[in-house]
Amino acid sequence: DIQMTQSPSFLSASVGDRVTINCKASQNINKYLDWYQQKHGEAPKLLIYNTNNLQTGIPSRFSGSGSGTDYTLTISSLQPEDVATYFCLQHSSRYTFGAGTKLELK
């Protein structure tokens, strides 16, 4: 099974900051990597699919990059409404989520 190592587990940043979250796969996942945002008490929401494709309706401050085993979610200018937990998901072989990154405002 493919393992996903997500970092950091916790992140504190200020409004306007550039924020990056990383996921590392245990083997090449051929860009089959998605990012989800989960606010407290809500279902996860798809932000980015297949590494760098922005889901419809998601603000352009969110972007994704990566290849092989290493992938990154970037928020270019943090907004208060971005406070949430972020998960990556690989779907190259079955499905494995990262453990999550809890993002808070400083």
Partner 1 sequence: QVQLQQSGAELVKPGSSVKISCKASGYTFTSYDMHWIKQQPGNGLEWIGWIYPGNGNTKYNQKFNGKATLTADKSSSTAYMQLSSLTSEDSAVYFCARGIIRGFFDYWGQGVMVTVSS
Q: Which residues bind partner 1 (CB under 8 A)?
A: 32, 34, 36, 42-46, 49-50, 55, 87, 89, 91, 94-100
Q: Report the nearest approach of partner 1 to the CB of residue 28 (Å).
A: 17
Q: Report the nearest approach of partner 1 to the CB of residue 68 (Å).
A: 19
Give the nearer residue to partner 1 in terms of CB position, either 38 or 69: 38
Which tokens in the block code for residue 54?
């922005």
Give the nearer residue to partner 1 in terms of CB position, either 18 or 39: 39
Residues 6+ apart with CB under 8 A from 22: 6, 7, 70, 71, 72, 73
Q: Radius of gyration of the chain from Cα atoms?
A: 13
Give the nearer residue to partner 1 in terms of CB position, either 36 or 82: 36
Give the nearer residue to partner 1 in terms of CB position, either 17 or 72: 72
- Strand positions, DSSP E, the chain: 4-7, 10-13, 19-25, 33-38, 45-49, 53-54, 62-67, 70-75, 84-90, 96-97, 101-105
Q: Report the nearest approach of partner 1 to the CB of residue 12 (Å).
A: 19
